[in-house]
């Protein structure tokens, strides 16, 4: 992998990740851009104890542009985009309309390929491996920023999810706090550790799922399963078999096997509802341990957390979406219409030949 860092016309950082070591990235951003001005602010809810990002400048962000005006495609002739070069393998840049900025953290965009009409599932194993390297590198770099406590790599895919740019891409949020969902996991891990005399909760969950009926696919280093209490109609958790706290901790074997396992999982998601259905909308979310101090979690260390990816779709059946209505949005109590065991069975059924 070759990494080349440069700056866009408004001062934002852009990084090329190339498969070839002899790639030259010297194109300049020719757009007449003013410096990016953000109004991001973090406010803490005194009742729930969580944090909300107030970012009014995002109202003016790019919204469903035509394909020939996509800002994530390479620049070509007079059509200038966020990527100055005429081609790329993987590229990462600071979001022009970030939810988090400055002392409130940082937001980045990850373009998986220059092919506008592709998806992550269309990548080769070599390309998917390069994306993994980019995620890992950004996790390392962002973790050293003074304002950053947790790094979150994720992909939103599909208009049903709310995606406003059709180009295959993901995002990275670097939060200045431990996110509420991660805090819940850490508290659960602390409670379990105390009640069992030191057993790791993530290890216990993985052991139970490996012995059960909800495993979707399994390799030497990774296992994907539908969790016992899945919140979403089709939800899969992908774990490395050797517990590590973050992407930096993956060994060479896990890194090598990941593209094959993950691409197969994504391709099965696209086959759940049949070939006649549009591509399955999904969210893919990496859960990594925070980089800040964990004193508030009763003796749980970073090494007690288990890196894993959660993949889920909001489509519950052909032509129907799962909406977060009163119970989910009002009380955070999910109601799942698809039994996890049936979801796992269906995902095994659509395995590629």
Task: Enumerate the active-site residues.
Answer: 169
Structure tokens at 27: 């194109």
Beta-bridged to residue 110, according to DSSP, are 92, 170
> What is the dihedral sign for C-alpha 340, 341, 342, 346?
positive
SS3 260: helix
Provide Rg for the chain, Cα atoms: 20
229, exposed or middle or buried, with CB in 10 Å at 0-12, 13-18, 19+? exposed
Burial 319-349 (b: 16+ CB within 10 A, else e): eeebeeeeeeeeeeeeebebebeebbebbee
> What is the dihedral sign for C-alpha 346, 347, 348, 350?
positive
- Paired sense of beta strands 320-321 and 315-317, if any: antiparallel
SS3 207: helix
Judge whether 92 and 14 are in contact, CB under 8 Å: yes
Non-local CB neighbours of 105 within 8 Å, separated by 6+ positions: 40, 42, 147, 148, 173, 174, 175, 176
DSSP-derived secondary structure for 107-125:
EEEEE--S-TT--GGGS-H
- Residue showing tokens 């390297």: 133
């Amino acid at each position: 992998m070759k990494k080349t860092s440069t700056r866009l016309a408004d001062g934002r950082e852009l990084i090329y990740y190339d498969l070839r070591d002899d790639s030259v990235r010297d194109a300049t951003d020719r757009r007449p851009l003013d410096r990016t001005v953000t109004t991001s602010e973090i406010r803490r809810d005194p009742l729930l104890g969580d944090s909300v990002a107030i970012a009014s400048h995002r109202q003016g962000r790019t919204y469903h542009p035509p394909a020939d005006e996509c800002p994530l495609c390479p620049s070509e002739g007079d059509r200038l985009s966020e990527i100055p070069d005429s081609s790329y393998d993987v590229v990462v840049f600071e979001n022009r309309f970030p939810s988090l900025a400055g002392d409130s953290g940082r937001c980045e965009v990850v373009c998986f390929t220059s092919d506008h009409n592709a998806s992550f599932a269309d990548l080769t194993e070599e390309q998917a491996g390069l994306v993994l390297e980019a995620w890992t590198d950004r996790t390392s770099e962002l973790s050293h920023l003074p304002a950053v406590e947790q790094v979150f790599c994720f992909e939103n895919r599909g208009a049903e999810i709310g995606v406003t740019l059709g180009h295959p891409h993901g995002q990275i949020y670097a939060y200045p706090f431990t996110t509420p969902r991660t805090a819940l996991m850490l508290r659960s891990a602390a409670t379990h550790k105390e009640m069992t005399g030191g057993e790791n909760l993530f290890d216990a969950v993985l052991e139970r799922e490996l012995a059960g009926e909800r495993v979707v696919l399994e390799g030497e280093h990774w296992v994907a399963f539908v969790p016992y209490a899945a919140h979403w109609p089709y939800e899969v958790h992908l774990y490395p078999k050797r517990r590590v706290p973050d992407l930096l901790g993956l060994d060479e074997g896990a890194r090598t096997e990941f593209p094959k396992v993950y691409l197969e999982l994504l391709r099965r998601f696209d086959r759940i509802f049949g070939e006649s259905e549009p591509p399955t909308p999904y969210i893919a979310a990496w859960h990594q341990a925070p980089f800040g101090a964990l004193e508030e979690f009763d003796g749980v260390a970073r090494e007690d957390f288990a890196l894993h990816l959660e993949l889920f779709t909001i489509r519950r059946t052909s032509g129907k979406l799962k909406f977060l209505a009163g119970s989910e949005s009002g009380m955070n109590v999910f109601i799942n219409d698809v039994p996890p065991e049936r979801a796992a069975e269906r995902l095994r059924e659509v395995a590629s030949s």
